[in-house]
Structure 1
Amino acid sequence: MGKAQPFVHLKPANLVLKSFNKQNASSSAPLTAPLNAKGTSSPMLRVNLNKFPSFIGHCTSRVNRRVNEDTYSINMLKLPASGQEMQCLRNKNIKDKKSYWDNELPLKKSVLNLSVFDGHGSDRISKLLAKELHHEIAGTLPSREAFFDLLRKYKDVVGGKYWSKLYTKREAYFHRFIANCNTKQEQVLFENDKSGSRMIFDTWGNIIDKNSLLTENERLRLFTAYLNFDFKHCCDASNVPEAEKVDNRPVGGSTASSVFITPYHEDDSYDETFLANPESLLKLIVTQVGDTKIVLCDKNGIAHSLTKIHHPTSSRESRRLGTSFQTDSFGDTRFLDNFANTRSFGDSIGKQDGLSCEPDIYSYLIGSTRSLPHSEISKLQFGGDECFVCLITDGVSDLMSDQELVDLITSTVNLRGFKTASPQFVSEEVVRFVAAIGGQQADNATCLVLRLPNWGNWPCIDRTGAIREEKLLSASSGSERSNV
């Protein structure tokens, strides 16, 4: 079966330099290390992804709350090659495909996965997600029949009109959200482009199709893993300790936002070193459940939100749930008079009414444009050569805009220099800033920063410096008044 590991194997720098010196400097062949019988380069360094500050930064704080219910996870997923997986699924001579998939297929493909979870009501669900969700994804064999059986379990065990209707229309649901994925961001970006003029070509004239970055199987794996995790740990009360239940219902819930990064050409993903030295384009897959956010910084230092939050103010969520939402005495719009989000893991009391963990899936083409002709670069969604990706909880996004977040990071690097201001340093700086401007009721804050190939090559422009300074001054003066 697939697996998730919290570490990555990298080739030592002295061996990389030695190999590079042996290669022809004019050669366009990628720099790779020979693979041994186990499929890994030898000798290799084993680097813990949580202790990789020059590439991945992570910081979380309870700020002014009693308990920190935010969690996160950083892992490398190891999966079978897509072609071998498809052969397994199509081969009618294999009676037990799950057993064959678990024990016979070599794990060649590497996918870097970062996730952030914002718990509410309890930290049980967010901690479970950080501990188990990546294993659930890696261990899921995508199967249409298994997915439909899972929807049937929701209908029978969870109950309610929402799941009954979804199961009844399961074929149409599969066609829309998995086979064709009409909710995906690229469909919004390019739905009016029917001429094919947006196709990208590499230097050899090969087509790079940015509109089909995920296969049906890959989307099905994500949907199945998310719903199966939620059913086992959040809906089935028999799997939950009595101390974590009220009126025989599991307590607590959590939002979840994740990124999955792998080289555009699958062969390049067989070597885990793509993380440290990506030579070509990357596939950036984003999943969204709730209101945690993912923000990308392009080569010009401009912030781009990669997700759309699931909030009661969303007209799309109102159509999905077939209901209107209520506004409480504080002016906040709520679902079922209680929930600030319309999708989450857990929250079993709202599961019958559609408070599900069905993920929105977005896919983007990013990374180095070295192999692209100049005329093709403008066709990329963000122009290529992006600088970094941030994953943040609402404790951060409620207090600062996406551009303020990006400018805080870029200006910190410009001021402190590359050696000091690593992704780890700037993620801590973001949380320190939020703690400084947050009031007495400030929420938990979590920030993950993933370095991309163009890290540090943004313009020396701070577009929101005055706004951030004003927030700091206001927070400082408010603190002084409260102490008088």
Structure 2
Amino acid sequence: MGKAQSFVYLKPANLVLRQSNKVTSNVNNGLTGQHGKRSSPMLRVNLSKFPSFIGHSSSRINRRTNEDTYSINMLKLPTSGSELSCIRNKTIADKKSHWETQLPLKKSVLNLSVFDGHGGDRVSKLLSMQLHNEVVATLPSREAFFKLLGQYKDVVGGEYWEKIYDKREQYFERFIANCNTKQEQVLFESGKSGSRMLFDSWGNIIDKTSLLSENERLRLFSSYLNFDFKYCCNVNNVSENDKVDGIPVGGSTASSIFITSYHEEASFDESFFISPEGLLKLVVTQVGDTKIVLCDKNGIAHSLTRMHHPSSSRESKRLGMGFQTDSFGDTRFLANFANTRSFGDSVGKQEGLSCEPDIYSYLIGNTRSLPHSEISKLQFGGDECFVCLITDGVSDLLSDQELVDLITSTVNLRGLKKATPQFVSEEVVRFIAAIGGRHADNATCLVLRLPNWGNWPSIDRTGAIREEKLMAGSSGSDRSNV
């Protein structure tokens, strides 16, 4: 199994590494030598205190409590080849011991997640503390996944889970075995044409439409469903204070990114994301209405997810029924829920209010090793600037482009040295506090710096709109103080 850590080890800039076999052989995570001792001085950096590369800010704004949470971790996972070998060649009984003793944890995956709780912060806090541990602890297998679906059918109950379990083979083939995110990429890039085949400068094919293996998708599906079943909905694992009529209350949406080097050997070093020389694999998971937005090299915003709202035709088709319109004209699921997927919310689990994630994968990063003719084939043109993870307290008040322009204009005005990802994430939350009304929702913003940070054009496309919102927010607060 893998492990998760809230820190990374970095090589000091003035360190000259010895090029000896004793240092480079038998390395588990790129940092230790033959006898488990650290082979050279390293800097241990907490990811939550890395302001020049990762920014994070959260505020209750005008609510009584803040039910938003987030997590920032480095996941250490077995390399794909070793993991697949373990799955295929060992029996179920032998897998765990073989996994723990034989598989080197070399692959580094940077994981950022944002969670928006409702009905209390129980579920969102659980997710921020434990979801990443569930992901790395999961040993994906077809048999275990089918057993988990059977538990949902027997314990949670309902026609929705009974139907999924009865058609589990078709479910597996559609969403895990044969889904390589090609459909999702077409949805976002339908206006673009061109070959799906991408070549590096040596003529090798880079398969941008098959960035996730069956095993990787199975790990995410299994860990999310298992976490929800064990910790969010199991009455035996929930205190009496968090139950109403014996049923656990509260839920949370969740959006996550998992970013690693496209070339697996380059991810053995935990600092791969600081100044990557090549392409990066960006995997996105979506449950609910928290959002993930990417800024390309031209300063254009791109939404990387589709929200799970009752107004979605896709969600209506999945669930079939149970939608009502409230007195404000908003469509609700089961007359209560603004989202059709979430963790927790046990009262709606039987009807399909599940945490089944949408999974998307994108190829981004440094294009230096690509021929010029190939760069246009990348989803966002390569050399992207940053990624934002936000809760609906931000996205309800700012459009994607307004969010990106707020960040880029802040950097342009303040300068790269002062306007770090940490500074701009705080600026986003301050802006929401300034324009939000008295009932404004909790606001959380995470910003991950990508290789082209700061190199966007000096254009503010939505400055006038943001200024108008700021003036309106100031006028509203002045009136409320009269």
Shift of 1:302: 0.2
Q: CA RMSD in A?
A: 2.0
Q: Which amino acid aligns with 2:392?
A: D
1:36 equivalenced with 2:33 (yes/no): yes
Aligned to 2:5: 5
Corresponding residue for 1:26?
A: none
1:166-181 paired onto structure 2 within 5 Å: 166-181=164-179
Task: Answer yes or no: is 1:316 the counterpart of 2:314.
Answer: yes
How far off is 1:102 after superposition?
Answer: 2.5
For 1:300-348, what per-residue CA distance to the aligned partner results, in whole angstroms no more than 9, with x for missing partners? Answer: 0000000000000000000000115211001111000000000000000
**Residues 476 and 92 from structure 1, CA distance in 2 versus in 1: closer, same or farther, beyond 3 angstroms?**
closer
CA distance in 2, matches of 1:442, 1:359: 27
Task: Please give the per-residue CA displacement for 1:53-88, whole angstroms capped at 9, x wherever unaligned.
Answer: 000000000000000000000000001111111111
Equivalent position of 1:416 in the other structure: 414
Q: Is the 8 A contact 2:51 2:421 kept in 1?
A: yes
Secondary structure of the equivalent of 1:208?
A: strand
Tell me whether 1:245 sits opposite 2:240 in the alignment. no
Cα deviation code 1:90-140 (max 9, x no counterpart)? 114674212221333111110000000000001000000000000000010
Name the SS for the 1:96 alignment partner.
Answer: helix
The alpha-carbon distance between structure 1 residues 401 and 230, as it changes in their structure 2 partners (threshold 3 A), is same
1:35 CA drift (Å): 6.3
Asked if structure 1 preserves the Cα contact closer than 8 Å seen for 2:297 and 2:456, the reply is yes
Alignment of 1:29-428 (within 5 A): 36-37=33-34, 38=36, 42-92=40-90, 95-181=93-179, 184-188=183-187, 197-323=195-321, 325-428=323-426
SS in structure 2 at match of 1:167:
helix
What is the alpha-carbon distance in structure 1 between the residues aligned to residue 10 and residue 434 of structure 2?
38
| 3-state SS of 2:271 partner | helix
The aligned counterpart of 1:432 is 430
Structure 1 position 206, deviation (Å): 0.3
> Per-residue deviation at 1:235?
1.8
Structure 1 unaligned segments of length 5 or more: list them.
23-32
CA distance in 2, matches of 1:39, 1:202: 38
Note the C-alpha offset of 1:280. 0.4
What does residue 473 of structure 2 align with? 475
Residue 354 to residue 93, structure 1, CA distance change in 2 (3 Å): closer
CA change 1:190–1:293 in 2 (3 A) is closer
Measured after TM superposition, the shift of residue 197 of structure 1 is 2.4
Amino acid in the other structure paired with 2:430? R
Q: Deviations over 1:214-257 (max 9, x none)?
A: 00000000000000000001121011111111111111000000
Task: Write the letter of the residue equivalent to 1:366.
Answer: I
What residue ranges of structure 2 are gaps of 5+ in the alignment? Answer: 20-29
SS of the equivalent of 2:280 reads: strand
Stretch moving more, 177-186 or 280-289: 177-186
CA–CA distance in 2 between the matches of 1:216 and 1:148? 15
Structure 1 residue 5: Cα displacement? 0.1
Kept in 1, the 8 Å contact 2:260–2:280? The answer is yes
Cα distance between partner residues in 2 of 1:397 and 1:190: 22
Question: 1:325 is matched by which residue type in structure 2?
Answer: F
Q: Deviation at 1:40? A: 7.1
DSSP-derived class of the 1:311 partner: coil
Normalised to the residue count of structure 2, the TM-score between the two structures is 0.94
Relative distance call for 1:163 and 1:479 in structure 2 (3 A) is: same
Question: Are the equivalent residues in 1 in contact too, given 2:180–2:210 (CA < 8 A)?
Answer: no
Are 2:322 and 2:334, in contact at CA under 8 Å, matched by a contact in 1? no
CA contact (8 A) 2:292 2:390 kept: yes
Q: Is the 8 A contact 2:180 2:212 kept in 1?
A: no
Displacement, 1:42?
2.5
Judge conservation of contact 2:108–2:260 (CA < 8 Å) in 1: yes
Q: Evaluate the alpha carbon distance shift between residue 313 and residue 365 of structure 1 in structure 2; reply closer, same or farther with a 3 A threshold.
A: same
Counterpart contact for 1:94–1:100, Cα < 8 Å: no
3-state secondary structure, aligned to 1:463: coil
Residues 34 and 165 (structure 1 numbering): CA distance in 2 closer, same or farther, change over 3 Å? Answer: closer
Q: Does 1:14 align with 2:37?
A: no
CA distance in 2, matches of 1:113, 1:198: 27
> Which range moved further: 87-96 or 34-43?
34-43
Residues of 1 paired with 2:411 and 2:192: CA distance? 38
Q: Is the 8 A contact 1:325 1:336 kept in 2?
A: yes
Query: 1:440 is paired with a residue of what secondary structure?
Result: coil
Q: Do the aligned partners of residues 482 and 49 (structure 1) sit closer, same or farther apart at CA in structure 2, a change above 3 Å counting? A: same
Instruction: Report percent identity of matched pairs.
Output: 77
Classify the secondary structure of the residue corresponding to 1:272: coil
Query: TM-score, normalised to structure 1's length?
Result: 0.94
Report if aligned partners of 1:176, 1:182 keep a CA contact under 8 Å in 2.
no
Tell me the distance in 2 between the aligned counterparts of 1:468 and 1:193: 30
